[in-house]
Amino acid sequence: MLYTAAIAADEPSRIGFIVSKSVGNAVVRNLVKRRLREAGAASLREYGTGFAIVVRALPASAAASWDQLLADYNAALALNVNRLGSRLPRAAVNGSTGTTQEGTQRA
């Protein structure tokens, strides 16, 4: 499950993760969380500003491969961005690649 909201166009995008005990034991939850963080970091290259994203891992994510998890993440993000459509701040529509996850400039 992926939820997306538009925030101010000049604010750095934020990503949060929810991985409950229903996903698996601590080892499995941390693996899922690490994979989701990597997928989120990749998406920040395209959507560096203007988005607040929350990812809730479902129990099926524990058995998903990296490729499947990444494909599901990207598909859900693209769907949510398209649904937001005209409600997006102008800078967020064009994407921004100049910031890190924390919003600081890349070297």
pTM here? 0.73
107 confidence band (pLDDT: 50, 70, 90)? very low
Instruction: Using the structure block, give the residue that is written with the tokens 């203007």.
Output: 50
The pLDDT of residue 100 is above 50: no
Q: Average of pLDDT values for 38-53?
A: 89
d(CA 94, CA 107): 21
Residues 6 or more apart whose Cβ sits within 8 Å of residue 99: 12, 44, 48, 49, 105, 106
79 phi and psi angles, rounded to 5 deg: -60, -45
106 confidence band (pLDDT: 50, 70, 90)? very low
Sign of torsion over alpha carbons 43, 45, 47, 50 = positive
Helix and strand numbers, DSSP H then E, in the chain: 3, 3
